[in-house]
Chain A
Amino acid sequence: MDNLPHKREMPPAPPITRRQAMLQLLRVGSVAAGAAGLGVWLSERSARPVPVAAGQARRDHRIASDDQLPQMTVVQNGEPAALARQALENLGGIRRFIARNDVVVLKPNIAWDRTPEQAANTNPELVAEVVRQCWQAGAKRVIVTDVSCNEPRRCFLRSGIQAAARAQGAEVLLPDPGNFREVEIGGVVLKTWPVFTPFLEADKVFNLPIAKHHSLTGCTLGMKNWYGILGSDRNRLHQQIHQSLADLASFMLPTLTLIDCYRVLQRNGPTGGNIEDVVLKKTLVAGTDPVALDAYVAKAYWDLDAAQMPYLQMASARGLGMVNFESLTVKVSDLA
């Protein structure tokens, strides 16, 4: 209580010395000069805000072609892991695609809160087998990720992919909204778009889509899987779905594509849900030509010709692959 001002007797203020006066002027003066300097500097800095320049980042993960080996393989009548083993063997073995100390990103479809039986996401055993093979080839990191549509935690869990990939020692990354980078897609309709960073930092990228029905394109296969590397409001892409698919395909060029046709969702895609819409095909289609793979699967399961799939024509015209898959060397294996 005794330090309250009204209780204290105010002593007469002593006169200040010249030295004190100078010091005080110096203090006030330096604050004033500092404020003026800071103000001028800040006003010089003022500029109309412009968006941050996006990094140019075409991602070409392709490997050199080899005339001795098939560009495409179709493996039938096996379990997912066996299908993957055979497919990789047919294409020249995993070591052809992965070098020692590569950072490998696997992009299965983990878009929906569905179980493997509902066939809306890539088969977990297929993903696990590819992870295992990547380790065998000496990869430094094997990352499994996707930018889900439904709640990611549920998608990763219920698809079984999180558990299967982790069991093989892969890093399973859930999409983190803070981990996207705005990049130049350089397409006709896709100019700049945020891309999930792991896809921009990989040495090799494997595309592991699942073949499903889709109302706009007839079916959704390998190229449509690249929607899942994008952030932001990708729901606008459907307005020009063919052009945007071709744009994405020329931005993200995978090392290898393996289209999961073990269970094929033939109606009510791409979400499905009803196992009566799912047909057991026990097939894997893999290869280095993403255009040919999509064209083959569309023809094989939905009887769609390339003429009905404009995005394949566009991608082919851009030199991303061959629509005419019959002209490729295809190796067919039957495990039955």
Chain B
Amino acid sequence: MAGPRWTQLRRLSQGFFLLLFLALLVLTALRPLPGSASDIHLRGPVRLFFEWDPLVALSNALATHALYRGLLWSLLILIPTLFLGRFFCGWICPLGTLQQFLGSRPSQAKRGKQRIESNRYKHWQTIKYVVLLVGLVAAFFHSMLLGWLDPFSLLVRSVGLSILPAANSAVRAALAPLEHSNSALLARSGAILHDILQFLFLDFRQPHYAQSFFFGLIFLLLLAASLRVTRFWCRAVCPLGALLGVLSRWSILGLKKDLAHCNNCNRCELHCQGGDDPIGSARWRKSECMLCLNCVDACPEHSLSFRFFPGADRSTQVAGPDLGRRQALTGLAAGVAAVPLLRADTGQGKSRDPRLIRPPGALEESGFLARCIRCGECIKVCPNNALHPALSEAGLEGLWTPTLVPRIGYCEPSCVLCSEACPTGAIWQITPAEKGWVAGTAARQDSLRIGTAFYDQGRCLPWAMATQCIVCEEWCPVSPKAIYLHEAQVIDAAGNAKTVRQPRVDPSRCVGCGACEYACPLQDRPAVYVTNIGESRSPASQLLLNRT
């Protein structure tokens, strides 16, 4: 064949989509264009990979009986897969690319015979179909557990909330001595380098995320596994790969083996990515093949080729997943049991953690959990570093869903970036006007609220320590302010009468943004704090009978 080989094209495509993924991840941040002074919006199609993800679309459809904005694009992957097979895994998926790149490094532990042996089809490759079944059944019961294992959720969580912040911190630490150097030349070049890196990927300020270390650790362990076992994640766990594998059952593109020329040299097996046995002496596993085309390249006899309608039969290929009835039943049963089991836990209904503060626009909790895929896009995009992956706040079922930590960052009144970044509508897209915190006109009664602030009068300076303060009132962004001041006569330690202004919250005006808690000078345990009561998404969690 003239021109570039298919495997070279494949590498090009993989590189392109990996870079695209990273670029979109970096753009998932407040990176405003200079000059745009009005409302601030996200730039670039940052949700692209989620919108392409048929697994997200299918589970969203199962859980909500609808498809959220943009998820229809997943047909762009789904329909070609029906005809061609798992080209997405081999040509596009950035997580696959990373694993393939690492897995094809020369390795002391995996070479020659061992690698061939390890690359042969293994029965544990059916685990991913069980994972998929469990996830889809859970989605049917309105719980998006699949998000824990969706490859893009995993990638954004790992790279966005762990690897990038770590790189950010390392680069800043390396630049600091340069920038603060006494030599003007060094300092200048440090500043220029900083500007360039800032333009490319550095965050405006160093972000920190709860559990960041573990996200990084999980990710690095996964990559390390691919050094030992070719594409371990894709072959064993990935539910998206499983879904695409199922879809490719009737695909018309397939491997044609010229058995007459095959001398079982194993070269195809040596380079096989999917563990799908392209070798002549075994049956080809169609649902495992990622169309990387390594085998075609590797065959010295040119006896392998991909053809439309290759005319394969049961003796030469296994079309569908090798999932026995028992395993399928186990998967179904596990999926059926998972959701009720998780919801029997206390986290959900009866004793919701008062500090579980969902971002503005978040749906009512059951609707939220039916959509949130724990991808961390909202957490990554929050310009105030206010959102963090929950550990126990949302119960076991809500692990890694977003929660606002006002002590670290408050919800910026006119910002709606998290709702723009959310791919599934767990945080429904809202406009600043719908959020209603800075209407520009009279305060609105129907503005979104994410919680209510309360005072700890034993710690508040004017309440407990005869000291003037009011920083909380100063920061309160709603108008009229939800924090009002009342002059009180207090006695200080010396016995002198003093007048201080003591702050109080008007719960009918408070939106729960947490600016007061963020600004409170009592850094360790603020004297004003927000809990989720009064959040507008939960009719059952209100404190006022009427909002005036």
The distance from the CB of A229 to the nearest CB of chain B, in whole angstroms, is 17
Interface residues of B in 438-485 (CB under 8 A from A): 438-443, 461, 467-471, 473-481, 485
Query: How many contacts A-B (CB < 8 Å)?
Result: 117
Q: Identify A215's interface contact among B32, B206, B474, B523, CB under 8 A.
A: B474
Are A235 and B520 within 8 A (Cβ)? yes
* A257, CB-defined interface residue at 8 Å: no
The distance from the CB of B410 to the nearest CB of chain A, in whole angstroms, is 9
The answer for the CA separation of A292 and B442 in the assembled complex, in Å, is 35
* B214, CB-defined interface residue at 8 Å: no
Q: In the complex, which residues of chain A have a beta carbon less than 8 angstroms from the beta carbon of B485?
A: 215
The answer to whether A274 and B440 touch (CB under 8 A), given A113-B414, A154-B412, A239-B461, is: yes
The answer to whether A268 and B440 touch (CB under 8 A), given A113-B412, A157-B40, is: no
Q: In the complex, which residues of chain A have a beta carbon less than 8 angstroms from the beta carbon of B204?
A: 152-153, 174
The answer to whether A239 and B468 touch (CB under 8 A), given A214-B474, A273-B478, is: yes
Q: In the complex, which residues of chain A have a beta carbon less than 8 angstroms from the beta carbon of B182?
A: none
* B320, CB-defined interface residue at 8 Å: no
- Residue of A162, A214, A215, A275 ringed by the most chain B CB atoms within 10 A: A215
Q: In the complex, which residues of chain B have a beta carbon less than 8 angstroms from the beta carbon of A209?
A: none
* B367, CB-defined interface residue at 8 Å: no
Are B470 and A238 within 8 A (Cβ)? yes
The answer to whether A178 and B34 touch (CB under 8 A), given A215-B473, A238-B470, A239-B469, is: no
Are B441 and A158 within 8 A (Cβ)? no
Interface residues of A in 123-160 (CB under 8 A from B): 149-154, 157-158, 160
Are B35 and A271 within 8 A (Cβ)? no
The distance from the CB of B109 to the nearest CB of chain A, in whole angstroms, is 14
The answer for the CA separation of A113 and B443 in the assembled complex, in Å, is 17
The answer to whether A241 and B468 touch (CB under 8 A), given A154-B415, A235-B520, A273-B479, is: yes
Q: Identify A239's interface contact among B30, B40, B467, CB under 8 A.
A: B467
Q: In the complex, which residues of chain B have a beta carbon less than 8 angstroms from the beta carbon of A162?
A: 34, 37
The answer for the CA separation of A276 and B413 in the assembled complex, in Å, is 18
* A102, CB-defined interface residue at 8 Å: no
* A: number of interface residues (CB 8 Å): 41
Are A273 and B477 within 8 A (Cβ)? yes
The answer to whether A215 and B176 touch (CB under 8 A), given A113-B414, A149-B475, is: no
* B: number of interface residues (CB 8 Å): 48
Are A158 and B37 within 8 A (Cβ)? yes
Are A154 and B30 within 8 A (Cβ)? yes
* A204, CB-defined interface residue at 8 Å: no
Q: Identify A154's interface contact among B414, B442, B475, CB under 8 A.
A: B414
Chain B 495-519, CB-CB to A under 8 Å as 1, else 0, gives 0000001000000000000000001
Residue of B nearest to A242 (CB): B468
The answer to whether A158 and B413 touch (CB under 8 A), given A153-B383, A271-B475, is: no
* B13, CB-defined interface residue at 8 Å: no
* A59, CB-defined interface residue at 8 Å: no
- Residue of B30, B443, B477, B479 ringed by the most chain A CB atoms within 10 A: B479
Are A273 and B519 within 8 A (Cβ)? no
Interface residues of A in 145-190 (CB under 8 A from B): 149-154, 157-158, 160, 162-163, 166, 174, 177-178
The distance from the CB of A167 to the nearest CB of chain B, in whole angstroms, is 8
Interface residues of B in 3-54 (CB under 8 A from A): 30, 32, 34-38, 40
The answer for the CA separation of A174 and B475 in the assembled complex, in Å, is 20
The answer for the CA separation of A158 and B477 in the assembled complex, in Å, is 15
Are B474 and A238 within 8 A (Cβ)? yes
* A272, CB-defined interface residue at 8 Å: yes
Residue of B nearest to A270 (CB): B474
Are A233 and B523 within 8 A (Cβ)? yes
Residue of B nearest to A179 (CB): B179
The answer to whether A273 and B470 touch (CB under 8 A), given A157-B36, A178-B179, is: no
Q: A153-B383, A236-B521, A238-B469 are in contact. List 19 more A-B contacts (CB 8 A).
A: A113-B414, A114-B438, A115-B440, A149-B475, A158-B40, A163-B37, A178-B172, A233-B521, A238-B468, A238-B470, A268-B479, A268-B480, A271-B477, A272-B479, A273-B440, A273-B477, A274-B440, A274-B480, A275-B441
9 inter-chain pairs at a CB distance below 8 angstroms, sorted by A residue, are A113-B414, A154-B40, A157-B40, A158-B38, A216-B470, A235-B520, A238-B468, A271-B474, A274-B443
| List of 3 A-B pairs having minimum Cβ-Cβ separation, nearest first | A274-B479, A273-B479, A235-B471
